[in-house]
Structure 1
Amino acid sequence: MNRRTFLATASASVFAAMLPASAFALSDAQAKNLVDRAVADINKVISSGNSLSGMIRDFERIFVTYADVPVIARSALGADARRATSAQLSAYTKAFQGYIARKYGKRFEEFVGGQIEVQGARRVKSFHEVQTVAKLRGEAPFAVNFLVSDKSGKPRFFDMIIEGISLRLSEKEEIGAMLDRRKGDIDLLTQDLKKAG
């Protein structure tokens, strides 16, 4: 069993403990309201006419406002999060949010002239799924679903499912590969994340 396989297996139990719980009895309406506001802000960015760098800055603000960034960042780091100091985890999380903003914010150019529409919400186990549809010029509409919880004390989304692909799981694989290339050095990973995306 190599390091990646071992950590993937070990991280399953770690993430299970981080999965959102329904401690605050979040309703479908509250989950939908969160995504309504996030989508309204995203649509403003799409139609703003700002430069790409400006749109990326706006997207990072939106991500921090509406996403449970610490949960997403820890999930992407997997079992390695357990051996990180609080200072390392804080620095990594800050670098991770910038990396996500650059990586996904660059796609805003594809959305210019289009929009995202919220369709509805439903409870799924201990969280809520809010369905949206992205409509881009010259392309068939596609689904973007937000998974929402209030485990952190406020409604926040902890994953986006884009055409059936989980942002959280995709980034877990990507961050894991980056960490492997740095022989497990979290500080080096953090430094590289500041420039990645």
Structure 2
Amino acid sequence: MHSNDPTRRHVLTGGAALGLTLLAGGARALSTSQASAFIQQVVDQTMAIVNSSASTEQALAQFEQVLARYGDMGVVARAVLGQPWRSASAAQQQAFVQAFQGYLARKYGREFREYRGASMTVSGASDQGDKGILVNTVVNLPGRQPFAVDWQVSDRSGATKLINLIIEGVSMLTTERSEVRAIYEANRSNLDATIQSLRGRG
């Protein structure tokens, strides 16, 4: 898919908007060029890991470092957990953020490892108003049609951070809210048990 496809833009913008209704506020003074440069850094580091000779364990640890550096994990974790976050203690909130970060790094790190040999190119960016900026990238992987990986960026927390990832129109934020809710309910609405469960997933 290419960035000038209006149907693709509609699907991706809609997917991002759905996920980001969970996040209050948006970009402060971030420009599309600044957001694109930020994502270029993320892409460069991510693809360096993907195409390295590191073991899976080493690569996933490196993915978590990238996520911790560039992702607004506190904001994302709070949005994903929802109501239980508000009744959690500060210690539980911190533990959830760490467990969720590790879970995301393992889950999406494994997916990105499948992109070995691929190139990822920033192809455009659009200002989504109070939802931040959507930066479009295209992945070219040998043997496959090019496909979209898009990144939602905001500086609402005072620094430029990644708040959502959209792979072929599927919003990470929306998906993980459903996943975490299911894990929470499976653990009988026990947050500590949910945190422990997340530590073993991904």
Which TM-score bucket, shorter chain as reference? 0.7 to 0.9
Cα deviation for residue 20 of structure 1 reads: 3.6
| 1:125-149 Cα shifts (integer Å, max 9, x gaps) | 2211100011222111111111110
Partner Cα distance (1:165, 1:17) in 2: 15
Relative contact order: is structure 1 or structure 2 higher (C-alpha 8 Å, sep ≥ 6)? 2
Whether contact under 8 Å (1:134, 1:143) holds in the other structure is yes
The alignment yields a C-alpha RMSD, in angstroms, of: 1.4
Cα deviation for residue 54 of structure 1 reads: 1.2
| 1:33-56 Cα shifts (integer Å, max 9, x gaps) | 110100010111112121111111
Partner Cα distance (1:185, 1:143) in 2: 37
Q: Do residues 46 (structure 1) and 56 (structure 2) align? A: no
Partner Cα distance (2:141, 2:134) in 1: 22
Partner Cα distance (2:160, 2:29) in 1: 10
Instruction: Choose from 135, 155, 160 the match for 1:155.
Output: 160
2:67 alignment counterpart:
63
Alignment identity in percent? 35
Paired amino acid for 1:53? E
2:176 alignment counterpart:
171
TM-score by length of 1: 0.88
Partner Cα distance (1:106, 1:18) in 2: 26
Extract unaligned runs of 5+ from structure 1: 1-14
Cα deviation for residue 30 of structure 1 reads: 1.2
1:191 alignment counterpart:
196
Extract unaligned runs of 5+ from structure 2: 1-19
Partner Cα distance (2:195, 2:154) in 1: 27
For residues 107 and 21 of structure 1, do their structure 2 counterparts lie closer, same or farther at Cα, with a shift above 3 Å needed? closer
